[in-house]
Amino acid sequence: MTRTAILAGMGAVVPPRSVENEELARTLDTNDTWIRTRTGIRTRHWTDTGTSTGDLATAAGARALKSAGVDSVDLVILATSTGNQPMPATAPEVAAALGLGQVAAYDISAACSGFLYGLSAAAGAIASGVAGRVLVVGADVWSTRLDPQDRSTIIIFGDGAGAAVLRAGHADEPGALLGFDLGSDGAGRELAQVAGGGSRERGSGRPPSPEDAYMTMQGKEMFTQAVNKMAASSELLLERIGWSAADVDWCAAHQANVRILHTVADLLGLERSRMLVHLDKVGNTSAASIPLALTDAAVSEQIKAGDRVLMTAFGGGLSWASTAMRWPEIDVMEISTDI
Q: Which residues are catalytic?
A: 112, 254, 284
Strand 308-315 versus strand 319-326 pairing type: antiparallel
> 52 by DSSP, 3-state: which?
coil
Q: Say how many Å lie between the first and final Cα of the chain, rounded.
A: 41
DSSP state of 21: H
Strand partners of residue 315: 319
**CA 283, CA 140: separation in Å to the nearest integer?**
12
Residues 6 or more apart from 57 whose CB is under 8 A from it?
78, 80, 90, 91, 94, 137, 139, 161, 163
C-beta atoms surrounding 20 within 10 Å:
12
Backbone angles phi, psi at 234, to 5 degrees: -60, -45
